[in-house]
Amino acid sequence: MIIFPCDGCGICCKHIEHIPQLKEFDTGNGRCKHLLDNNLCEIYSDRPDICRVDRMYELYFSSVMSKEDYINANLEGCKKLKMK
């Protein structure tokens, strides 16, 4: 099974300003209120679907693209955030 190779940098949780599903989590500068100082999520086991790469694939993308393409698209998004 292909899984997203998350390195735990926390950058995606520091740029949630354009994600409608996480609007209530935004502290005002794009950082999620649930992101801890060690880059872990304080509600990890209960985090919303939008924060779950595999769950989002199952729900919305499995019918339109392969898992490999989906993971690569997510990796591209991750790289772009890191270059900001």
Q: Which stretch binds ligand SF4 (CB under 6 A): 1-9, 29-37, 57-65, 75-83?
A: 29-37
Tokens of 20: 């409608």
Distance, in Å, from the CA atom of 1 to the CA atom of 23, rounded to the nearest integer, reads 32
Q: Does 71 bind ligand SF4 (CB under 6 A)?
A: no
The distance of closest approach from Cβ of residue 31 to ligand SF4 in the complex, given in angstroms and rounded to an integer, is 9
Kindly report the number of other CB atoms within 10 A of residue 47's CB atom.
17
The H or E element that residue 77 is part of is helix 67-83
66 vs 81, which CB is nearer to ligand SF4? 81
In sequence order, what are the beta bridge partners of 35?
A: 41
Q: Does 16 bind ligand SF4 (CB under 6 A)?
A: yes
> Where does this chain bind ligand SF4 (CB under 6 A)?
13, 16, 22, 25, 32, 34-35, 41, 43, 47, 51
